[in-house]
A and B are shown apart, each in its own frame.
Chain A
């Protein structure tokens, strides 16, 4: 796979297809149906009848919302099932998926790291690493921007606006 360059426009349609619109449409409609099922199940537990002096029971509103959602999703599912020209079009390509993973997978690691080393250190590493490996920036630039963003947000949130964000061992060493 060639280098991922997000500053260049890619033609997803021309690349090797990964998932078709039809498959994605059916999968999302099924997920909607599953969500309706979960909501209906819990609404039945809460009760969706009229209660004397209390009005509609807590499950009343979500129950009917979920029923409507299930009906609408069934329509979407039936519409998506037959194969059509529109449905055969690719939703994303293998390369397109790769480019998305380049930002998303590190983002998941970043969120997991926030709990361990604090949001500022994690942010600096995340930005610097993305610039270094994806943007092909020189090391000094990547480090400068990463640390710069982290320090500015630290000053902004912790010092000026007094909004506490997750902090780790490094901040603790400085007495925060």
Chain B
């Protein structure tokens, strides 16, 4: 239990009144940054990085990681209240979080989201504490073929586990991939599908699409039907925290599944976004309440939030041990480490013991402090829903426009946001699922380049994806998932019409 002694030493370094004050400041700033559109955790950390140059490295990284925790908590707020995911990994939170808000359970959704973020993060920190050296070795084994296999599995599980029409799921996903291809090709540098328009050079940015599809699309639906926040007039009771916590022990299975998926995706590093989608998909498949998912089930908020934060936190592990950042924010933090003269890598654990264990201790502290801060503010966040829709609707359009503009500092993106808004409205009306499109847009570039790299290494031989047990197992599972609708239809046919009726 050498780690525990080292951790105790870390707490001694991290827990000083000065550092705790920095934590509180960092988390409050982080929440504000997470709620504001166009300012993600990575931008927030980058903007505030210069402020920390004069501090001790340990204090500085405590402040910066606190901003990161705050932004992670903050992303869930807009996702639940307005169906606008502030961060890629909040997209899955909107599926059940926003319906909960519409049914007047915004406070429970927020408490559930914050609590599960906390559980996921603490699980990942505990993992970092004890498994850092072992896991670091495992991550080194991931090559392009393994990356593509993980991404393939993520997409295939949409087809296999999706509720709607598989053909519409595939169409929506392929549109996402096609949009992701637009612009400069990362491998060869040639221009794809720009047709001579300079505006398309940067391609379609994920955030612009998400702001339009979810934000503007939601505004259109709300205008058509009238606003349905049934809880808007209800009194916000302060006991939301206790009420929600009482429901959580029933979801232990979901917590454990999401924690494991999240940590695995964070370390490998698949990232927080696929982790959140996978966590949601698994919970939908295995939970007793799975069929109610999408209508406002607390478990549907818990599953993706736990997975996303486990992944977001676990992403710190490859950064510290290998110098490979697992997320954009981790990449900015990595830059910070280098500026303070700390070389990340296996030697960091030997040469800068105080710093590493101080940082790990601050991860525990930061998440506890963060949870207390955001939980006390839940009534404040939920009160936003009581503002009349005639004020909220144009204000959200303004916020969306600002968010879309800041992605690339381009007016073209604001116009695209309006186009995506109409698309979002049509797709949700006609049963085209939006998540596969969004995920394809986020991961399309990566999936394509890992596929092409893997093919290049194997000289065009597809069997490279089955060259070792790790990659082969993931890939096989993916293929099964992709063809699951056909398989299950065939099985149902053999079993006779009674079973078909029940399956439907």
Contact = CB atoms under 8 A, between A and B. Distances in A.
Interface of B is mostly: helix
Interface stretch (B306-314, B367-375, B451-459): B451-459
A56 B45 CA distance: 38
Contact of A28 (B39, B167, B222, B430): B430
A124 B395 CA distance: 9
Contact of B402 (A6, A8, A91, A165): A165
Nearest to B458: A55
A54 B188 contact: yes
Interface in B438-457: 448, 451-453, 455-456
A38 B415 CA distance: 21
Contacts of B190: 46, 58
Given A103-B219, A131-B391, A161-B47, A119 B170 contact: no
Contacts of B187: 55, 58
A107 B397 contact: yes
A42 B220 contact: no
Interface string B414-441: 1100100110011101101000000000
B178 A6 contact: no
Contacts of A79: 165, 167
B193 A131 contact: no
A139 interface: no
A35 B178 contact: yes
A143 B192 CA distance: 46
Interface string B386-399: 00111101110110
B175 interface: yes
A165 B36 CA distance: 14
Interface residues of B, number: 64
A68 B418 contact: no
Contact of A102 (B167, B216, B223, B227): B223
A42 B192 contact: yes
A166 B228 contact: no
Interface string A130-148: 1100111100000001000
A68 B228 CA distance: 38
Contacts of B208: none
A107 B418 CA distance: 8
Given A5-B226, A62-B192, A161-B47, A127 B429 contact: no
Given A24-B429, A75-B167, A55 B456 contact: yes
B227 A72 contact: no
B156 interface: no
Contacts of A100: 220, 223-224, 425
A127 B405 CA distance: 18
Contacts of A102: 223
A76 B394 contact: no
B397 A92 contact: no
A69 B411 contact: no
A6 B226 contact: yes
A91 to B, nearest CB: 5
B391 A69 contact: no
B460 interface: yes
Interface in A149-164: 149, 153, 156-157, 161-164
A62 B177 contact: yes
Contacts of A75: 167
Given A7-B389, A75-B167, A162-B47, A62 B181 contact: yes
Given A111-B418, A115-B411, A130-B394, A99 B224 contact: yes
A91 B432 CA distance: 14
B418 A108 contact: yes
- 10 A-B pairs with the lowest CB-CB distances in the bound complex, closest first: A135-B390, A69-B174, A55-B456, A9-B226, A130-B394, A72-B170, A72-B171, A75-B167, A96-B224, A62-B181
Interface of B: 36, 38-39, 47, 165, 167-168, 170-171, 174-175, 177-178, 181, 185, 187-188, 190, 192-193, 195, 216, 219-220, 222-228, 388-391, 393-395, 397-398, 401-402, 405-406, 409, 411, 414-415, 418, 421-422, 425-427, 429-430, 432, 448, 451-453, 455-456, 460
16 contacts: A6-B222, A6-B226, A6-B227, A7-B389, A24-B429, A32-B171, A42-B193, A59-B192, A62-B181, A69-B175, A76-B168, A130-B390, A131-B390, A153-B402, A161-B39, A165-B406
